Structure 1
């Protein structure tokens, strides 16, 4: 097995947090993720290749390959031997579900970026998008597996912060090993083009083993938890369909392999093998923690004292314990502190209800009332109850509680990697780079954004481009035809404006009998100039497929819009592919839109790249520019409904071109239940939530930002003032 230098690997919890907050430092986080993935693969590549050789892979048969890999996963799953004593089941269930939270709250995350603006028109991306949809509950927030797992946690009395928050990774009760597999999946997802085979292998394993066997075992003795909607959703028969999509994606990857097919198969196997070993390592580490710490009342008490000790300093100046100054002793030596506390006057061994620590000191009116949480009081009570002369040794007693098949070297490696620390960095590392980034032209930015794995610094350029664009749009929103329609936001005002706007657009349509003034060449040229934009249709919301974004009400609406734009997992329904058919009908030969030849083509005006470059740029900052994205989304979905699309249909029909693209958008974007209505609802959800937590002035600022985003669909004019100073966006 390849040896790795643990010190060179990042702390998994830090990396987990940074990927979930990617826009704070794109380039640095992506580089750290790449190094992490390479190190993990190096650790498991030799054993995986040995397994591949022993299995005599038939790499020409995708079905055979998937069946073989599925067998690996199922065989591994069946060998997990876990038993938990009835008396400990609630404690263990609570602990295990909390440790599993980084995984359970980010389901399917390895697939979250594989369908993106650059490749969503291709079959592999379509199939993986359909598989990813299973993990997030299709288009229903109520069925989102992340939301269901949070409900499961709440059933055990645990209310965890949002996974992207610093508070989540700072929780003392989540061990470092709990982040390893979750961080691997998130890190791998950042490289959808170069790591497609490994992503497919990892996704296949998650579908084969949708819930860790340890979680299954921990919940098995509690009927309500084991039959919880999360468990039912993860084991639902619909998983077979998602599994089928991954199998077909693997088949396409093998059939289209430029390199040796066996190499692609081995890389798919490596993704599954790595994921399996990381989950195995997590199970071992968690089981060992249960054995040696969780179910040992003394160890649990020491952990409580260790967490609380720094808060106790200064409140016990005149107290001593076993001749040691209390404040000094509790901080420097928690283990011996607890040992001596057991023999103090505050404790009656074996009798928590008679111990002064619980009956007086921590009771109502006592000097430590509410100092300890209910969970910590339960730990103290269990510790006091365990203080009996005839008690068994912790090791002997625990051996009957839980048994786990160990993974040996993999477990030790996972423990070590989880304990290594990330090099101290600026919490917002992208800021310095952002300030130095120069404005990149729209053609070049368009090309780089569609090939971002080859241009890791492009996200700094994207941030500058988006902010400059919004600054210009903000200026335009103050006056003229784009002036903000009202300054004080209310839902009624927004609804009234929306309905009036939709009515005006419908009335703007001249009717099917109006004269077509454009020549055939003009119609074709207008269609061609739209290509850079149409070929990345939905690109402005492409990051809303990601964990911590899609598991919200607003996120689910934006996810559905993006899914519709890219065909809901069917390349034939992909909007860009429908437009490509129109171009072929017009006898327009287009280079692949990801190539430099496309970006530099004389077919297009420079202006044709402006809006799509802005879309691709703003999409990389879903949190920073959320209000603006919501406004842009509404402008985009509402733009052609009723008038422009119907006029375009008449022009296309006049010259006998297919009208499928405009017909589709005139229906799917409708203002009743379509994308326009969904875009409006997303804005209402966002602003109404702000109304409940902020004052009116703060909400009005958010509304102004939403309107700026709405205005940003049009190319904002550059003003003469930019000769003297770069425009700044006041957010």
Structure 2
């Protein structure tokens, strides 16, 4: 079921391998459906344009025509009920804006133009580092404005509480599934991203929201159509141009794949429009059908409470569970109902009132359904559906059963069955190999198990040394004031450690170069420890906004000239160092580097794959990384580089961008404060101390932890 896939992708780290496999299977099934539709002629296509201007112009025209056609084909009456219903059904898309693009840029490719443009477009969807402008946050506000308070999209209760139809998560699930394999599905992702920018809000949804007094003029609509959307679309168009212009590719095939991503998105949203319009027309606006659905949902809770009652000479408890349609028909003729007059009906005046046997059994929304149903019943007439309904039978009036395609999706939970393999990392994968595999994880699907094991071992070692040395736990009981005092004192001490620009440079030129070379595996993945914080479910949170901003700054905010690894590559070229592509095995195995050069970056890449599991440790690591060179080490490095007439941009940039006032160090501190604020408010003192120790373990983990002699007998384990 697609709702389950949506949930599992939102909780990817629980089962990386299985979820990625399921996501690929889903995408391939959509491809097969698309191919079949093209062969049958039921979907239009044309010879793909290889000129980017022609391709984009044709897709723009297609999207504009499609939007107007969809409104004509699938009109939906604007009532408060339909606005609430459609807004909830659109939530999988509305609460995950730009999700097709969320992994296009990552540690392995952030220095390249195509991913950089994709990242710049993604910035628009997430509000340019502001939760107040984040489109997911704005859509949640819109939902709440209609009186709907849904769980977060990573919750197992999201699909159930939203009452999702089976088609409602399909488009978002498609985009999320594509996002897990940006290397394999890059063209389709750009086609899907272009469609989302062309159709910023589903035309059916937008028509309803702009018509309704409840939602007209809501900031979500303003945000989805602001002037920056055109700039975001230009970035996608530039990414498409860059992809079509890459050497060695078949531009015609790539253009066709871009069109496929666009066409599939259009088809899935069109199918959703049809299902929504049909559901509203046939079910939502028919009070009798709504009542049947209410009884169908509630009946299992009613069994056992009405053993002495009968309805139409049938035992009440059995009737309500086994035959909701006829139960509603007979209920309409019972003594509890005054047809056409809900205010006079015992069901609503006595049974559900204070002191009644069903007080607070029904929600306010469910009581509204019951009132509307009773009000719709004509006095003295049959309670069956209207005669213009094809569900009416000749034998007896009956209420239509709900077609299977309309039934609400089951809760999006996943339980591993005995048939599913339980994978655990076995054997040893060294830091060099792990570094290489994680940078090429689409070709190494089992690497995530090794990454999890590597991160746990690393953190376990860090725990053993966290109680002593200069980075020992500074205080056991966390308070914001204590952390701030420690932070400011640490920043001051680092600044005072700088000997000044007049110092003598004793370090030989060769040593300066050698030290710079050994940093390449680390700096080429700058920001990699927070690369997954681009994802829906993370980026719209307070912590996520801060970490996303840090990652985006490290990779240049969509500008390859500002990309930190590229600036460092310029330094390497100036030093006369020629290196293989850092994603290649030749780089990972190069004798230019010591084994130690890959340890910290391998840990960064490993922990980044588990942003929820290792959240407090990631926050501590982030602070350690951002604060590490500010004030002292970066300024010393600048003097050394300048002495030998090397470019100092990299260290100059970090000494400013990581500053302890408003820069990355300050953001890292703020992220910890946000996290610990929740821990202090919701956890016991002992539990809060545990969370603080986990944060500090992450801080300590920036340094390569020493292996203890105890590992001869047992591998260290990390317990939280």
**TM-score when normalising by structure 2:** 0.94
> Given the superposition, is the C-alpha separation of residues 485 and 140 from structure 1 closer, same or farther in structure 2, using an over 3 Å criterion?
same
Corresponding position: 1:23 with 2:4: no
Corresponding position: 1:382 with 2:372: yes
Following superposition, the deviation at residue 394 of structure 1 comes to 5.4
Corresponding position: 1:560 with 2:549: yes
Equivalence for 1:168 = 158
Instruction: Answer yes or no: is the 8 Å Cα contact 2:283–2:289 preserved in 1.
Output: yes
**Alpha-carbon distance in 1 for matches of 2:25, 2:487:** 48
> Given the superposition, is the C-alpha separation of residues 127 and 48 from structure 1 closer, same or farther in structure 2, using an over 3 Å criterion?
farther
User: What per-residue deviation string (whole Å, max 9, x for no partner) do you get for residues 492-518 of structure 1?
Assistant: 000000000001100111111111111
Corresponding position: 1:226 with 2:216: yes
Corresponding position: 1:105 with 2:101: no
Out of 609, 614, 625, the residue aligned to residue 625 of structure 1 is 614
Corresponding position: 1:319 with 2:309: yes
Please give the residue correspondences for 1:122-141 in structure 2 after superposition, counting only pairs within 5 Å: 122-141=112-131
**Alpha-carbon distance in 2 for matches of 1:84, 1:131:** 31
**Alpha-carbon distance in 1 for matches of 2:494, 2:384:** 79
Corresponding position: 1:57 with 2:43: no
Corresponding position: 1:724 with 2:688: no
Following superposition, the deviation at residue 730 of structure 1 comes to 1.4
Following superposition, the deviation at residue 47 of structure 1 comes to 4.3
Equivalence for 2:243 = 253
Following superposition, the deviation at residue 219 of structure 1 comes to 1.8
> Given the superposition, is the C-alpha separation of residues 659 and 197 from structure 1 closer, same or farther in structure 2, using an over 3 Å criterion?
same
Corresponding position: 1:476 with 2:465: yes
Out of 581, 594, 599, the residue aligned to residue 610 of structure 1 is 599
> Given the superposition, is the C-alpha separation of residues 132 and 345 from structure 1 closer, same or farther in structure 2, using an over 3 Å criterion?
same
> Given the superposition, is the C-alpha separation of residues 183 and 444 from structure 1 closer, same or farther in structure 2, using an over 3 Å criterion?
same
User: What per-residue deviation string (whole Å, max 9, x for no partner) do you get for residues 64-84 of structure 1?
Assistant: 111111111111111021444
**Alpha-carbon distance in 1 for matches of 2:716, 2:655:** 36
Instruction: Answer yes or no: is the 8 Å Cα contact 1:439–1:464 preserved in 2.
Output: no
> Given the superposition, is the C-alpha separation of residues 168 and 257 from structure 1 closer, same or farther in structure 2, using an over 3 Å criterion?
farther
**Alpha-carbon distance in 2 for matches of 1:335, 1:471:** 60
**Alpha-carbon distance in 1 for matches of 2:223, 2:238:** 23
**Alpha-carbon distance in 2 for matches of 1:222, 1:421:** 30
Instruction: Answer yes or no: is the 8 Å Cα contact 1:83–1:217 preserved in 2.
Output: no
Equivalence for 2:494 = 505
Which stretch of the first structure deviates more once superposed, 36-45 or 610-619? Answer: 36-45
Q: What is the SS of the residue equivalent to 1:480?
A: coil
Corresponding position: 1:153 with 2:153: no
Equivalence for 1:8 = none
Out of 416, 422, 434, the residue aligned to residue 426 of structure 1 is 416
Which stretch of the first structure deviates more once superposed, 624-633 or 415-424? Answer: 415-424
Unaligned runs of at least 5 residues, structure 1: 1-10, 400-411
> Given the superposition, is the C-alpha separation of residues 215 and 531 from structure 1 closer, same or farther in structure 2, using an over 3 Å criterion?
same
> Given the superposition, is the C-alpha separation of residues 478 and 173 from structure 1 closer, same or farther in structure 2, using an over 3 Å criterion?
same
Following superposition, the deviation at residue 129 of structure 1 comes to 0.1
Q: What is the SS of the residue equivalent to 1:646?
A: helix
Instruction: Answer yes or no: is the 8 Å Cα contact 1:45–1:270 preserved in 2.
Output: no
Please give the residue correspondences for 1:590-601 in structure 2 after superposition, counting only pairs within 5 Å: 590-601=579-590
> Given the superposition, is the C-alpha separation of residues 83 and 287 from structure 1 closer, same or farther in structure 2, using an over 3 Å criterion?
closer
> Given the superposition, is the C-alpha separation of residues 53 and 313 from structure 1 closer, same or farther in structure 2, using an over 3 Å criterion?
closer
Out of 607, 620, 624, the residue aligned to residue 635 of structure 1 is 624
Instruction: Answer yes or no: is the 8 Å Cα contact 2:97–2:126 preserved in 1.
Output: yes
**Alpha-carbon distance in 2 for matches of 1:609, 1:143:** 38
Equivalence for 1:215 = 205
Following superposition, the deviation at residue 221 of structure 1 comes to 2.2
Q: What is the SS of the residue equivalent to 1:199?
A: helix
> Given the superposition, is the C-alpha separation of residues 393 and 345 from structure 1 closer, same or farther in structure 2, using an over 3 Å criterion?
closer
Following superposition, the deviation at residue 648 of structure 1 comes to 0.2
Out of 520, 524, 533, the residue aligned to residue 531 of structure 1 is 520
User: What per-residue deviation string (whole Å, max 9, x for no partner) do you get for residues 368-387 of structure 1?
Assistant: 11100000000000010111
**Alpha-carbon distance in 1 for matches of 2:513, 2:408:** 58
User: What per-residue deviation string (whole Å, max 9, x for no partner) do you get for residues 289-337 of structure 1?
Assistant: 1111111111111111111111112211111111111111111111111
Unaligned runs of at least 5 residues, structure 2: 391-402
Corresponding position: 1:276 with 2:272: no
Following superposition, the deviation at residue 662 of structure 1 comes to 0.1
Please give the residue correspondences for 1:693-708 in structure 2 after superposition, counting only pairs within 5 Å: 693-708=682-697
**Alpha-carbon distance in 2 for matches of 1:369, 1:651:** 78
**Alpha-carbon distance in 2 for matches of 1:23, 1:563:** 22
Equivalence for 1:341 = 331
User: What per-residue deviation string (whole Å, max 9, x for no partner) do you get for residues 351-380 of structure 1?
Assistant: 000000000000122111110000000000
Instruction: Answer yes or no: is the 8 Å Cα contact 1:25–1:429 preserved in 2.
Output: no
Following superposition, the deviation at residue 220 of structure 1 comes to 2.8
Instruction: Answer yes or no: is the 8 Å Cα contact 2:163–2:408 preserved in 1.
Output: no
**Alpha-carbon distance in 2 for matches of 1:39, 1:421:** 23
Instruction: Answer yes or no: is the 8 Å Cα contact 2:16–2:448 preserved in 1.
Output: yes
Instruction: Answer yes or no: is the 8 Å Cα contact 1:189–1:199 preserved in 2.
Output: yes
Equivalence for 1:238 = 228
Following superposition, the deviation at residue 393 of structure 1 comes to 8.4
Following superposition, the deviation at residue 437 of structure 1 comes to 3.2
Q: What is the SS of the residue equivalent to 1:657?
A: coil
Corresponding position: 1:670 with 2:659: yes
> Given the superposition, is the C-alpha separation of residues 664 and 428 from structure 1 closer, same or farther in structure 2, using an over 3 Å criterion?
farther
Equivalence for 2:299 = 309
Corresponding position: 1:692 with 2:681: yes
Which stretch of the first structure deviates more once superposed, 706-715 or 40-49? Answer: 40-49
User: What per-residue deviation string (whole Å, max 9, x for no partner) do you get for residues 555-601 of structure 1?
Assistant: 00000000000000000000000000000000000100000000010
Equivalence for 1:95 = 85
Equivalence for 1:77 = 67
Q: What is the SS of the residue equivalent to 1:567?
A: coil
Following superposition, the deviation at residue 699 of structure 1 comes to 1.0
Q: What is the SS of the residue equivalent to 1:192?
A: coil
Following superposition, the deviation at residue 239 of structure 1 comes to 0.6
Equivalence for 1:544 = 533
> Given the superposition, is the C-alpha separation of residues 398 and 673 from structure 1 closer, same or farther in structure 2, using an over 3 Å criterion?
farther
Corresponding position: 1:193 with 2:180: no
Equivalence for 1:454 = 443
Equivalence for 1:648 = 637
Q: What is the SS of the residue equivalent to 1:486?
A: coil
Following superposition, the deviation at residue 481 of structure 1 comes to 2.3
Following superposition, the deviation at residue 427 of structure 1 comes to 8.2
Instruction: Answer yes or no: is the 8 Å Cα contact 2:307–2:316 preserved in 1.
Output: yes
Equivalence for 1:574 = 563
**Alpha-carbon distance in 2 for matches of 1:333, 1:619:** 52
Instruction: Answer yes or no: is the 8 Å Cα contact 1:216–1:226 preserved in 2.
Output: no
**Alpha-carbon distance in 2 for matches of 1:596, 1:221:** 58
Equivalence for 2:252 = 262
Corresponding position: 1:38 with 2:36: no
Corresponding position: 1:518 with 2:507: yes
Please give the residue correspondences for 1:408-419 in structure 2 after superposition, counting only pairs within 5 Å: none
Equivalence for 1:490 = 479
Q: What is the SS of the residue equivalent to 2:105?
A: coil
**Alpha-carbon distance in 2 for matches of 1:485, 1:310:** 56
Instruction: Answer yes or no: is the 8 Å Cα contact 2:8–2:414 preserved in 1.
Output: no
Instruction: Answer yes or no: is the 8 Å Cα contact 2:287–2:373 preserved in 1.
Output: yes
**Alpha-carbon distance in 2 for matches of 1:279, 1:501:** 53
Equivalence for 1:440 = 429
**Alpha-carbon distance in 2 for matches of 1:233, 1:637:** 32
Q: What is the SS of the residue equivalent to 2:682?
A: coil
